[in-house]
Amino acid sequence: MAQERKAFLLRLPPELWNELERWAADELRSVNGQIEYVLRQAVARRRSEPPPPEPPPPEPPRERAEPPKEEE
């Protein structure tokens, strides 16, 4: 039984499309198959990497020291 697929429109610059066509041909895949392969690899890499660290909380504002009082 064929796997169900979600179809959607993807707009790409011609230069990127041409590069994907060459890459797909080198690996004996269709452009669609190549895009799916690259996306699967990226998702797998993302899942295996630890999440980026949380940024530290902002420091509270420092209290300003009062300027010295001038003697009269």
Q: What is the mean pLDDT of residues 16-25?
A: 97
Comparing C-alpha atoms, which of 4, 24, 20 is closest to residue 12? 20
pLDDT of residue 72: 62
pLDDT on residue 1: 57
Residue 42 in tokens: 């990226």
Average pLDDT of span 22-51:
90
CB 27 within 8 Å of CB 34: yes
